Amino acid sequence: MPQSKNNSIQGLRFLAISLIIASHCGLLSQGGVGNDIFFAISGFFVCQPYKDSDYEYEYFSIRKFFEYYTSRIIRIIPVCWLCMFFAAWGLRILDFRDFTTENSLLLNMFFIKSKMHLWFLQQEVAFYVCAPFLILILALFKKVLSKFISSKVCVNLALFIILNVAVYFTNKYAIVSSFRLYGNGVEQIFRIWLFLIGMSFAYLLKIIKEISVSDTLKKIASAISSVFLVIFVALSILSGEEIISSLDPAYTGYHVGWEHSLLITYLTGIALVALSLLSESNCVKKFLGNKLFFTIGNISFSMYLIHGFILNDFAYLTPWRYFAVIYLLSLCVAIVIYNYIEQPITKKLLRKH
């Protein structure tokens, strides 16, 4: 499969889903890191990082809002509801007769309350609901800034700064704390700042692409980026609680992904920009974009949905066997769903719009 700008980023999705499943199987408690990676990627791509035109201005039209929500619904709902129906009628995990608790099929279907691992999907959907309005706000800022600043670099830099200021205030002062999501049995704050980080790095990428640099500087930047990516992937695994607590007992119960979610998300943003700028011949980019990682990254959404519903059926296994069984079963079912349900439905419905 030929490499593309996004193939290697699918490798990051592979890393994220692998960390999450390993965590849920009690093998490596890095599920928080996996979630942070997914959140950063979602924010990054909603800002169309590879589009050079003023895509933000399209959101001045109500039609664009309609197109955006239609595409999100088509990509998320069919697979999501299919897995939920299976959880309700096949596995008896969700209850179609319950209309009040997190066990309710109906409440899970509309992301009002979410059971177990579905809290993550609730966060993603909340962001996708807000995303067009966030982009509209950026469009307004950009329109005003463009009247006084002619440089694309400076305008995008201003938007990058604005987004990071929003990260600071939404996180530090919990501006959205009144907007709470009920997931995994408890009320949870909408982690919008993690998505905003991903959005900001889409603008950082646009800034860098506008700057002309010498071939020598490009080679140095490529080498640094490659080393960073290797370290990022390695630390995403090696900073697991099981590993660091074996080196120092003081870190027992210390989960990097939850304790330092901002840091992990910022590092993911850097990784996304690096992978977008590296040449197709770069060995690190080729490795992350290999056919296996790319395939699993593509079906990671289905894998995430499926794996959580079958965890209890194999909980008696040792961690390694538990992980292997859950991973392989989720992978096989996700491949079927992706190739015979998700892709055909998505292509058919999006073609109509």
- How would DSSP label each residue in 121-140? HHHHHHHHHHHHHHHHHHHH
Residue owning tokens 């319950």: 98
- Residue ranges per structural domain of the chain: 7-352
CA distance 45 to 198: 8
Query: Given this model, what pLDDT does residue 351 score?
Result: 67
Give the model's confidence band at 80: pLDDT under 50 very low, under 70 low, under 90 confident, else very high. very high
**Other Cβ atoms closer than 10 A to 220:** 12
| CA dihedral of 94, 98, 99, 104, whole degrees rounded to 10 | -10
pLDDT value for 236: 95
pLDDT in tens, 35-77: 999 999 999 999 998 887 889 999 999 999 999 999 999 989 9
Q: What percent of the chain has pLDDT over 70?
A: 95
pLDDT exceeding 90 applies to what percent of the chain? 68
pLDDT tens digits along 205-236 = 999 998 888 888 989 999 999 999 999 999 99
Closest-CA residue to 52 (of 206, 213, 239, 157): 206
pTM, entire model: 0.92
- CA quadruple 192, 198, 201, 205: dihedral sign: negative
